[in-house]
């Protein structure tokens, strides 16, 4: 009896984590750690930190357009920084109590991947600093 119940439980568990194990296979471990386990890449290491080309920064997991090079600026923080998302509703926000701080986590609205955090110390345009991991983004250059 008990065994049967456990089997059913593990079956339903497997269903809900199926997506996760697919991602774990498809992604390199650093991208998986950052986007799925809310990790942070080391400061000044991300591939998009100093990128100044014009284009769109998409979600590295689902491809949703999240940020534009128009809103990117050099914050000096060590991570790609934007003062606004590409459009309202492209990114979602969650309160994050980890590391003994209260921060606002930024996620992809489409697939819920972790992107980074937003801080209230941005430039005058919005006063916001979206501090985003390069591993959470995939840059698409503007073709003209």
Whole-number Å distance between alpha carbons of 35 and 32: 5
CB of 55 or CB of 78, closer to Zn ion:
55
**Residue of 23, 27, 49, 64 interacting with Zn ion (CB under 5 A):** 64
Residue 135 engages Zn ion in binding (rule: CB under 5 A): no
User: Could you tell me whether strands 103-108 and 114-119 are parallel, antiparallel, or unpaired per DSSP bridges?
Assistant: antiparallel
**Residue of 34, 57, 61, 122 interacting with Zn ion (CB under 5 A):** 61
Residue 23 engages Zn ion in binding (rule: CB under 5 A): no
Question: Least separation, in Å, of the C-beta of 110 and Zn ion?
Answer: 4
Question: Least separation, in Å, of the C-beta of 92 and Zn ion?
Answer: 10
Question: Least separation, in Å, of the C-beta of 61 and Zn ion?
Answer: 5
How far apart are the two ends of the chain, measured CA to CA in Å? Answer: 66
Here the tokens at position 104 are 């606002």
Residue 59 engages Zn ion in binding (rule: CB under 5 A): yes
Alpha helix ranges (H) inside 65-132: none
Residue 140 and residue 58 in contact, taking contact as beta carbons nearer than 8 Å:
yes
Whole-number Å distance between alpha carbons of 59 and 23: 14
Residue 62 engages Zn ion in binding (rule: CB under 5 A): yes
Burial label for 35, CB within 10 Å (0-12, 13-18, 19+), is: buried
Residue 132 engages Zn ion in binding (rule: CB under 5 A): no
- The interface with Zn ion within residues 99-118 (CB under 5 A) comprises 108, 110-111, 113
Residues that bind Zn ion (CB under 5 A): 59, 61-62, 64, 108, 110-111, 113
Query: Annotated catalytic sites, by residue?
Result: 131
């Amino acid at each position: 009896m008990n065994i049967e119940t456990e089997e059913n439980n593990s079956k339903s568990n497997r269903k809900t984590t199926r997506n996760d194990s697919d991602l774990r296979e498809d992604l390199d471990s650093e991208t998986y750690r950052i986007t799925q386990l809310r990790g942070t890449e080391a400061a000044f290491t991300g591939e998009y930190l100093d990128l100044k080309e014009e284009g769109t920064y998409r979600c590295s997991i689902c491809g949703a357009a999240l940020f534009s090079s128009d809103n990117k600026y050099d914050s000096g923080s060590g991570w790609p920084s934007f003062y606004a998302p590409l459009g309202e509703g492209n990114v979602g926000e969650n309160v994050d109590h980890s590391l003994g701080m209260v921060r606002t986590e930024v996620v992809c609205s489409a697939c819920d991947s972790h992107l980074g955090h937003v801080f209230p110390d941005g430039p005058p345009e919005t006063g916001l600093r979206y501090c985003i991991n390069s591993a959470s983004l995939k840059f698409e250059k503007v073709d003209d």
